[in-house]
Structure 1
Amino acid sequence: MKKLIYTIVFIGSFFLGTAQQTPAGPQLEAISIDGATAHLGNGKVIENALIMFEGGKLTFVGSAMTKIARRGTVIKGDGKHVYPGFIAPNKSLGLVEVDAVRATNDQDEIGEMIPHVRSLIAYNAESQVVESMRPNGVLLGQITPKGGRISGTSSIVQFDAWNWEDAAIKVDDGIHMNWPTNFRKGRWWMGEPRGFLPNKEYAKQLEGVKHFFKNAAAYDNVGNSELNPAFAAMQGLFDGSKKLFINANDEKEIIDAITTAKENGIKDIVLVGGYHAYKVTDFLKKNNIPVLLQHTQSLPVFDDEDYDLPYKLPKLLTDAGILVALQNGDAANFQTRNLPFYAGQVVAQGLEKEKALQLITGNSAKILGIDDAYGTLEIGKSATLIISKGDALDMKGNKLTHAFIDGRNISLETHQTELWKRYMGKYDGK
């Protein structure tokens, strides 16, 4: 018993002793960034740019040669690059701190069909993992529940806040579901052959989803004595106030998922994963379906596929006219900080660098429905941006000097940077 108590006290003191940096206060003075190269997030670049913002909003984005008075604090941007803050969709950031410590894992609730479970109220704004996103320029995220068939409802937050109320920028934006797989991996421990086997339960699972959709569409709480929370949460999918994010990868899964959702009156659908989406691009274009692709740094799933298929998928879909953004998929939360480098990797596959940038800025904002305020550097939008010494899509160049969320100059210090400085001093003296 004493050992258990000591362990709990140690874990608690560890987290308390390494708390997140204090969130920045509101922007009180205008800021002008003069002379940097501005990457707007919509495919455009302004060399020798002038960017000014006040009250958390961009007030000028244009050439530094424009005869206009610089306002407030002036940041010299010579040789530097300015980008919109990067956006991380479909992640359980702030819901899991340490995978091996069950008490810090709040990403999955009990049940298969639980659209009414809201991730936002469980979001930990003081997460060290969330804090570690900022030095690489990842400033916004869609906090997404995991597990089950219908996992729950996500919300979109900014990564510098006191609590989840302060963090939220779009509440209950979408419902996330995992479509039944047409194939599954063989369970070798049960004597099944290794590799992929047909999922004999697929038809039954598909019928279960259709039944739930139909009941949710028919649900009307008027006159009912008891509220059905799951069906009530689904109503936003039918009136267009929420998006349905469907995780599906195989061609049949993709077609079945989108067709079933459309037939049941669901208006706004986003495909998540989409590993074989390049095989059904005409279908996706016809139904106006955007795709949140898995990150690029992964191996092909099947032996007969191109070795570089995961690397070039974003370009294949972009060239086909599909709206594409990148998400970190099933990789660990902490790896989300590598989001800009996943985008940079697509450049090596032939995609223009500014289009690659859109995969984590402008395109992400459009898919998540926050492009009215975030994702690009345009007058009137939120001053959520970063300043880097070099190319932010390259590990060598991604060295931030400043980061702003809604005009607030946020800290770039984390537990990792503190350790880096501590041990750099130790070994530099050797």
Structure 2
Amino acid sequence: MKFFKINLLPVLLFISATVFAQQTPAPEQTTPVTIVGATAHIGNGEVIKNSLIILEDGKIRTITDATSTKMPYRGTVIEAQGKHVYPGFIAPNSTLGLVEIDAVKQSDDEDELGEMLPHVRSIIAYNAESQVVESMRPNGVLIGQITPRGGRISGTSSIVQFDAWNWEDAVLKENDGLHINWPNTVRRGRWWQGEEPGIKPNDDYEKDLLKLSEFIRNAKAYLAGPRTDTNLPFEAMENVFAGNKRIYIHADAEKEIIDILAFKKEHDLKNVVLVGGYDAFKVADQLKENDIPVLVGRVHETPNLEDQDYDLPYKMAHLLNEKGLLVGLETSGGMERMNSRNLPFYAGTVVAFGADKEEALKMITSNTAKILGVDDQMGTLEVGKDATLFISEGDALDMRTNKLTKAYIQGRDISLESHQTELAKRYSEKFEKQEEK
């Protein structure tokens, strides 16, 4: 019996790995790829209806109108007439790869103990083999900003691509920005402390702001001094103050956003990005004046207040875009990791509630790339940029026609299979056989 148990274990482990492991990452591109005839959505508002795209050495080498050139095809030729080509979609402010199962603490690495944690780097906890990450690719979400949570200053995010062996292979831009959770102006009654339920003013709001300001001032004083004793949180602020990292401030209420503008000016902060920004439409002019872009909170939400338009979350991004702000879409909130695959359909909802389709596409491609500071690498289908793109049978912002046939990350022909697609095929075949009977 003992012999049976010892030999059964590796068999079970092998079966488990075979069934549940992520696909092997695609190898480097060695042969050019030519995509012919597809409608190319460049990601900057332009569309080429009959395109010729050549990918080589992981880069886009050619993109032009196929009817206006006699350029010879190269390498593998993909006839894509009637299909659409898009830049890979980018999911900012995401905890993908930091949590696999919420109820299993051992798989949860999104938060660290403490309040002021600028030295915490989310990238070292990123699990490139997450099954949730794998499920993004069939919808065209190929890139993400991996972001820590918790505390007043959560730490530093990094930008990754979603087909890698480990975080070192995945990273596209390491430590791109610092994340600050702005204090809330209101709070809910804490019943466990005998308080009345409901929303009420946060009496500690000013005190919390003072703590944040004190940290900023102390960090500047430390960096200007001899630094005889190493202080890691203060050291981590050096690139922030120099403007080499973006500062992502997570806030929603109108007063909070106005206070952020004052805070930015007081401490001479550069490259500030507003994340969430539920009331941003109320102060859009001030945000534009201060050149602050917005990563708009999840589109598929209900209004916060009873007297607000039922469709306010649906049209929020369009309202800000009309005001001339640089707008991207983010997906944080309940079930955020699983719902990140719906990013293109959030953009589709923005179209349904007023936005031009190519403008909405920019909110998950070029706009987001600009906000994250990686628009020199990705976000549009342009010569010299990474060949991170996909081919869809139809409109990728519509869940009925978002059906990918090919996807490339830096020119690598990646798998579009996942545990979910395997299950879908398995049960489709089951019911097809039953119908035949």
TM-score (normalised: structure 1): 0.95
Deviations 1:323-349 (A, max 9, x none): 000000223211100000000001111
Q: For 1:306 and 1:12, locate their aligned partners in 2 and report how far apart those are by CA, in whole Å.
A: 54
Question: Unaligned stretches of 5+ in structure 1?
Answer: 1-8
- Residue 400 of structure 1: CA displacement? 0.1
For 2:49, which of 47, 50, 56 is the aligned residue? 47
Which blocks of at least 5 consecutive residues in structure 2 are unaligned?
1-10
What residue in structure 1 maps to residue 393 of structure 2? Answer: 389
For the 8 Å contact 1:117–1:151, the answer to whether it is kept is: yes
Shift of 1:258: 3.0
Give me the whole-angstrom Cα distance separating, in 2, the residues matched to 1:15 and 1:203. Answer: 52
Give the structure 1 partner of residue 3 of structure 2.
Answer: none
Superposition deviation, residue 225 in structure 1: 2.9
The AA in structure 2 aligned to 1:349 is F
Q: 2:150 aligns with which of 139, 147, 151?
A: 147
In 1, Cα distance between equivalents of 2:13 and 2:149: 25
Name the aligned partner's letter for residue 363 of structure 1: N
Counterpart amino acid of residue 301 in structure 1? N
Asked if the contact 2:34–2:76 (Cα under 8 Å) also holds between the matched residues in 1, the reply is yes
Q: 1:205 to 1:14 in 2, by over 3 A?
A: farther
Could you tell me which amino acid in structure 1 is paired with residue 294 of structure 2? V
- How many Å separate the matches in 1 of 2:423 and 2:114? 41
Aligned partner of 1:297 among 293, 296, 300:
300
Residue 28 of structure 1 pairs with residue 21 of structure 2: no
Aligned length: 422
Q: Quick one: which amino acid aligns to residue 131 of structure 1?
A: E
Q: 1:52 is aligned with what amino acid?
A: I
* 1:18 counterpart (20, 25, 28): 20
- Contact 1:217 / 1:264 at 8 angstroms: preserved in 2? no
Aligned counterpart for 2:174 among listed residues 171, 174, 177: 171
Residue by residue over 1:387-409, the C-alpha shift from the partner in whole angstroms, topping out at 9 and shown as x without a partner, is 00010000011000000000000
Letter of the 1:72 counterpart: G
Question: Residue in 2 aligned with 1:58?
Answer: 60
Q: String of CA shifts for 1:293-340, please: whole Å, max 9, x gaps.
A: 011100000111111110010010000000000000223211100000
Structure 1 residues 153 and 44: CA distance shift in structure 2, 3 A: same
For 2:278, what is the secondary structure of its paired residue? coil
SS in structure 2 at match of 1:51: strand
The residue that corresponds to 2:4 in the other structure is none
| Aligned match of 1:273 | 276
Alignment counterpart, residue 93 of structure 1, candidates 92, 96, 101: 96
Structure 1 residues 107 and 114: alpha-carbon distance in aligned structure 2, compared to 1, 3 A threshold: same
Q: Please state whether the residue corresponding to 1:272 is helix, strand or coil.
A: strand
Residues 285 and 361 of structure 1: CA distance in aligned 2, closer, same or farther (over 3 Å): same
Q: Within 1, Cα distance between the matches of 2:177 and 2:262?
A: 18
Instruction: State the match for 1:422 in structure 2.
Output: 426
Q: Kindly report which structure 2 residues correspond to 1:223-238, keeping only aligned pairs within 5 A, or say none.
A: 223-238=226-241
1:55-134 equivalences under 5 Å are 55-65=57-67, 66-134=69-137
**Residue 321 (structure 1) aligns with:** 324
Counterpart Cα distance in 2 of 1:304 and 1:38: 42
Percent of residue pairs identical: 59
Report deviation, 1:256: 1.0
Specify which of 389, 395, 412 is matched with residue 416 of structure 2: 412
> Match of 1:336?
340
| TM-score, length of structure 2 as denominator length | 0.94
Correspondence for 2:246: 243
Q: CA deviation at 1:380?
A: 0.8
Tell me how large the CA RMSD over aligned residues is.
1.6
Q: 2:93 & 2:154 partners in 1: Cα distance?
A: 12
Pairing partner for 1:159 from 146, 158, 162: 162
Match for residue 403 of structure 2 among 394, 399, 402: 399
Q: How far off its partner does 1:197 sit?
A: 0.6
Displacement of 1:424 in angstroms is: 1.2
- Where does residue 379 of structure 1 map in the other structure? 383
Letter in 1 for 2:30: L
CA distance in 1, matches of 2:110, 2:19: 24
Matched, 1:186 2:189: yes
Give the corresponding residue for 1:6: none
In structure 2, what is the Cα distance between the partners aligned to 1:401 and 1:193? Answer: 55
Q: Match of 1:24, as an amino acid? A: A
Q: CA deviation at 1:222?
A: 6.2
Mapped to 2, the partners of 1:54 and 1:403 lie a distance apart of 14
For 1:171 and 1:296, locate their aligned partners in 2 and report how far apart those are by CA, in whole Å: 28
Measure how far apart 1:265 and its partner are. 2.4
**Structure 1, 184-193 or 406-415: larger mean CA deviation:** 184-193
* Of 337, 345, 350, the match for 1:346: 350
1:251 positional shift: 1.0
Aligned to 1:199, which of 196, 199, 202? 202
Retained in 1: the 8 A contact 2:34–2:78?
Answer: yes
For the residues of structure 2 that align with 1:210 and 1:152, how far apart are their CA atoms? 17
Residues 255 and 159 (structure 1), Cα distance of their counterparts in 2 relative to 1, 3 Å cut: same
Find the counterpart in structure 2 of residue 363 from structure 1. Answer: 367
1:258–1:269: 8 Å Cα contact kept in structure 2? no
Q: Which amino acid aligns with 1:185?
A: R
SS at match of 1:337: helix
What is the alpha-carbon distance in structure 2 between the residues aligned to residue 204 and residue 15 of structure 1? 51
Offset, 1:192:
3.6
Distance 2:114 2:216 in 1: 16
Q: Are the counterparts in 2 of residues 126 and 163 from structure 1 also a CA contact under 8 Å?
A: yes
CA distance, structure 1, for counterparts of residue 30 and residue 13 of structure 2:
38
